[in-house]
Chain A
Amino acid sequence: MAGDNETGERENNRAVFAPGREGEWSAEQIALMMVPATPYSVALGFRYVSSSPGRGSILLPWREDLVGAAGSGILAPGAVTALIDQTCGLAIMAYVGNLAQPATLDLRIDHLRPARPGASVTAAAHCYKATRTIAFLRSEAWDDSPDDPVATAQAAFTLNRREGA
């Protein structure tokens, strides 16, 4: 399953936040900046976990105000949807860099079971194919173990890659 060995392998704060000589940010720099540079991700409290070319993982820490049904303690499916969307974006950025301007074309999520009450949710995404114009991804989200996901997803994103990029 995507992301099995990615969690926690990289520290959050080792980025050098400066563009390279050619004014282009490295895929790694982009990946590290992506969550803090996205207001909705900041508002939901997302935390970057890891990335490598074509893969990304983000944590949604449990928070009382992100619970769906009052008193359930279960993170709202809408918050998990946003997490998966962002994690797919991260996996693409870590693959092709920020100039590709990925935009979600479609996203299908199966909510396999409710997350455990009070549990944080982690998502991992894998961009398994990218053409010049489209990226295809699979993603899973889990609370306790990636082997027992709360949600699985399939997504396509549009890319705007320059010739030769």
Chain B
Amino acid sequence: MTDAADLNHLLASSPFGRFMAIEARVDERGVLVVLPPRDSLIGNTMLPALHGGAIAAFLEIACLMQLAYETDTIAPARTIDFSVEYLRPGRPEITYARAKVRRIGRRVATVHGEAWQRDEATPVCLVQCHFRLPAAAP
């Protein structure tokens, strides 16, 4: 079974994963992905708020992590499309995300993700993604 160590290894092996400094944890609900705040993630210095692109990139990785966990593989899936909704500005503080794999077909998986900060019940951002699954191992 893919565990937190495998997922963090997967993140650390990706240059962009290292750039974002994202951390994965596994608990009874699945994968919890954590984005520590940094000045370089800011998009609006006046509010201030995290860059929407940073939150979206974080959520895409959260979806990939949950997918890797459920399919028990660290072979990378490819993003087909990605739809993101911003509900409120992301404050420059620690951000969390979880994803739900809604369907795994033979070739395509549908994954929904949510990011929040202080309160999981008031998410800052929602995503829906489709991923092309890696070819099944022989």
Interface residue ranges, A against B (CB under 8 Å): 37-43, 64-70, 76-79, 81-86, 103-111, 114
Contact, CB under 8 Å: B53 / A77: no
Interface residue ranges, B against A (CB under 8 Å): 13-16, 18-20, 39-45, 50-54, 56-58, 60-61, 76, 78-86, 89
Closest to B57 in A: A78
User: How far is A105 from B125 in the complex, measured between Cα atoms in Å?
Assistant: 10
Chain A's nearest CB lies how many Å from the CB of B45?
7
Contact A79:B39 (CB < 8 A) given known A85-B52, A104-B86: no
Contact, CB under 8 Å: A81 / B53: yes
> Across the interface, which residues of A come within 8 angstroms of B16, CB to CB?
65-68, 76, 78-79
Contact, CB under 8 Å: B14 / A69: yes
User: How far is A77 from B19 in the complex, measured between Cα atoms in Å?
Assistant: 13
Contact, CB under 8 Å: B56 / A85: yes
29 contacts between A and B (CB under 8 A): A38-B42, A38-B44, A39-B51, A40-B43, A40-B50, A41-B51, A43-B41, A65-B19, A66-B15, A66-B16, A69-B76, A70-B15, A76-B14, A76-B16, A78-B16, A78-B57, A81-B60, A81-B82, A82-B53, A82-B56, A82-B57, A103-B52, A104-B84, A107-B56, A107-B83, A110-B81, A111-B78, A111-B79, A111-B82
